[in-house]
Every structure is written in C-alpha cells, then in structure tokens.
Amino acid sequence: MNSNVIEVKIRDLIWEIVSKWKSIFVFAIIGAVILAGVDYSQKKSQESRQVETSNMDIESYQIDTVEKNRAKAYMILEEQLQGQSEYMLHSPLMQLNPNSFYVGTLRYYIQSDESVKAAIGSAYDMSLTSEVLYEEISQALKLDDVQTAYASELIDTKATYCDFLFKTVNVFGEATAETTQYVTINVYADNESDCETLLETVDEFVGKQTNDIRKKVGEHSLEKISRECSNVSSKELVRFQTEYTKDVNSNYTALNNIKKEMTDSEQAYIAFYRRQFPATNNVVATISLKKVLIGFVLGAFLAVMVYIILYILNGKIRKEDQAQEMFGIPQLGVICMREKTAWGFIDRWIEKMRYAHLRLTDGQNATELLALNLKLLSKRNQIKSLCIVGCGLTEETKQVIKHLQNSSKGSDLQIVEGGAIVYDAKALEKAVEVGTVVLLESVGVSAYLEIQEELEICKTQGIRVLGLAMVEK
C-alpha cells in the first residue's frame, strides 16, 4: 500500500454520509431556524421603519384641520362598509331564508350536587363557544376559511342553572323556558342535511368534553333527553336581516354624499394616506415557510459538505477496509461494539443496507469467532503466546482483549495485552518478548500511517504478525 494515497470509494462515501443522518438533520434544523429568524428580524425592522416613516409623513402633510377630519371620517365609514359587506356576503344568518330554515335542538339533563350545578352549566357554556368546536363544524360542513370565521353563528348555547323558571332569548329573540337541570343547544342551517350534521358534530363534541369538565368542576352525569330538527320561519330573522340591510344602505348613501361634497384637498389627502398605508403589499413580519425550507436544505447541504471533506481528509481506518489488500496481512474479523441508542433501529437498517453483501454478526459473536480463530491459528503454527497490540486501543478494544484472555483460559494459548508499539517502549518490549502479535485497531481511531509503521517495526524487530482485527464502536 502507498501510505500517501488513500482510495476514496463513492459508494462508501455516500453510505458514510447517510449514516450521519441525525447530525445532518440537526444542522438542517439549525439552518432553518437561523435563516427564518434573520428574515423575520429584517421584516420586523422594515415594518417598524415603514410605520414610523408613514406616520411622520402623514403628520407633516399640509391640509386644513376640518378637511383632514372629514377625510378621515370618510375613510372610517368606508372601512366600516367594507366589513358590513363582507358580513352580508358570508354570514350564515344573512344567508338563511327567514321563511324556511332548519333549527336543530339538543337538550341534556344534568345530574349533580346543587353546589356545583352552576359551575357545571357555565363550563359547558364556555366549551361550546370554543374555537375547537367551530373548527370541527367547519370540517363537518366543509366550510372555507372565510366561512369558518362566521361558524359561531351556526350554534347558540345556553346553560341554565337557576333555581327557578326563567326565559332566555336566542339569536332570533324568541323566548324559551328553561329549568335548572338542562343544557340546551340550538343549531341553524338552511337545509335538513346540514342541520343533522351540525347536531351530530355538536353531540360528539359534548361527549368528548364531559370527562374534562368532570375533572375541572366536579362529578356529574349528562343525559341526552331530546334531539330535534325542525323546519321553521322567524319574524325576528326577517327583522334582523332587513334592519341590517337598511343600515348598510344608509351607510352607502352617507358615503356617497360625503364623496360628492369632497374637496380636491380632501381627495388628495386620502390618496396620499392610502399610499402611505396601503391595504395590501404592506411589509408584515411573519415567519416565511419558504425561508424555513431553504434554511433546512442549506443546513443539510452544509453538513453533507463538511462530512465529505472530513471523509476525504480522514486518514483513519474504515470498517470496509480489507487488511489483505491494504497491508498484505490477513484480516481476522470486524467486531461491532455499538450500543443501543434512540432511533438505533434506523442506524441498524442503514448498516444492513450498507453491508448487504456481508453477513454481519453482533459484537459478542464476532468476539467469540475471533477468539476461536486465534486458537486455531496458534495451534496450526505451534504458537504458545500472542501479544495484542494497536495504536487505537480504546475502552472497547480493551473489553475485546479481556474477553479473548478469558476465552484462552484452560488452553495452551496465552494472550498478553500489549499496547501502542509505535509510541510505548514497554509495549514494544512485550511484543518482542512474545514474538507474535495480532493488530487490534479501532475504526475511526487508528490511522493508516500508524498501522504501516507498526508493520515496519514488527518487520525490523523480527516479530511475527498473524493478522489484523478491527473494533467499531
């Protein structure tokens, strides 16, 4: 072997990179956090500068105070109308036909101590007005994001827990009598199918909330006593829709009247204001998913490049190296001492794929095979003692040596622990005294040049080398 030239195999390089998947993933996460964080920080700074600059420009704009106030009133009314128009377009209450729509009613009977009855009713009331329920309703009815924002109008809840009969008013202003033992829930839909879907969704949600409310408030039972879905009409809904529409039309009329009387200065101020505070294209500080993905890829790429460079420049022995090809001595075995770790099954799968052409054994079996191999070689060559040497002796290699020594007890073979004959004079003295050595090297620790130097020393000192075994952590 030419000690100045180390062969790089592309296949082994790829598998070496794949085996580092955990650290590559960590680098990718760090890259995503850094790039997204820098981007967010820049946007936040730009947003602050934009608002500060716009405020300064608006304050310095030359216009009469009365005209400025009238222009601001126009913009406020315009914004209010925009919200009202959105509500009319997407609100379930505005879309219902007041002469024919469906009301579903669920009624539950509460059994509990009087002392906690009020708290239980309040807890159900709060849980049934949560965003979690609205999201489940949205999924059940397949609402879009805009419609989901108005999902709260599809359900009306009232937990009743007073000690006397009283009247409550639902969203349509219609009076209903309730008593202390009941939780009543109304749902609204424009067709019977959606009404039944709403009832089923709410009923399932109530069932899931019961255990949590028991833990938080107190022991109780909730029994469903009625479930109805009826086609109804509502004068109150007609009145609500009519009055709301009148209010919107009135605002439109007022807005048009203001616009007709608006001066050129007021129109110029409004145009300038909108340029300073545009409705769209504002720089808003948000975390960019694109930047997260780019940072993730860049972090992973950087880690891969680092491992490629380390692999190429690394002068340490690798598991796939063959001692016979590289050093001209027999390879006696490869012992894997890897410990079980989190996600270790992925590492084991990668190792099986990487060395699919080899039959791998665990550390225990590999050590026993090495011990047997040494006994057979010693018997064949009439060797009474062996010295285990190596420049990469670690805790793992010392465990292997101890196991070999225990295995040789009761036989004619004596195994002596040596050391790094390149650096340790006592280790070299032991090796010379025994006369026969086995090189035990650690994968990723022992360097090629060190092994080559060990072989040169053995040759010079007349020490016989039986072969080389590798230990992988």
Q: Name, in order, each residue with C-beta under 8 angstroms of 429's C-beta and a sequence gap of 6 or more.
A: none
What tokens were used for 58?
């608006």
Cα angle vertex 382, ends 381, 383, to 5°? 95
Q: 101-232 sits in which CATH class?
A: alpha beta
Give the best-scoring range by mean pLDDT among 248-257, 328-337, 357-366.
248-257
**Could you tell me which residues are beta bridge partners of residue 157?**
185
**Could you tell me which residues are beta bridge partners of residue 334?**
470
Residue 302 exposure: Cα atoms within 13 Å on the Cβ side: 14
Weakest mean pLDDT among 31-35, 163-167, 351-355: 163-167
Q: How far is CA 325 from CA 35, 133, 177, 331, 440, in A?
A: 47, 69, 94, 10, 17
**Which pLDDT belongs to residue 177?**
42
What tokens were used for 241?
């829709």
What distance in Å separates the CA atoms of residue 431 and residue 51, rounded to the nearest whole number? 80
Please name the residue ranges forming H helices in 328-435: 344-354, 363-380, 395-408, 425-434
**Which pLDDT belongs to residue 164?**
29
Domain boundaries, the chain: 1-95+239-314, 101-232, 323-472
Helix, strand or coil, per DSSP, at residue 465: strand
Q: Region 31-54: what's the mean pLDDT?
A: 77
H or E element, residue 179: none
Weakest mean pLDDT among 24-38, 88-102, 118-132, 445-459: 118-132
| Chain-centre distance for alpha carbon 192 | 41
Say whether pLDDT at 127 is over 90. no
pTM score, whole prediction? 0.46
CATH number belonging to domain 323-472? 3.40.50.300
- Residue 436: band (very low, low, confident or very high) from pLDDT cuts 50, 70, 90: very high
Q: Are 198 and 102 in contact (CB under 8 A)?
A: no
200-254 pLDDT, tens digit per residue, is: 999 999 989 888 888 888 888 888 999 999 999 999 889 999 999 999 999 899 8
Amino acid letter for position 137: I
Q: Name the average pLDDT for the chain.
A: 82
Q: Are 51 and 107 in contact (CB under 8 A)?
A: no
| Structure letter (DSSP) for residue 329 | S
What tokens were used for 105?
């009613």
Q: Are 439 and 333 in contact (CB under 8 A)?
A: no
Say whether pLDDT at 34 is over 80. yes
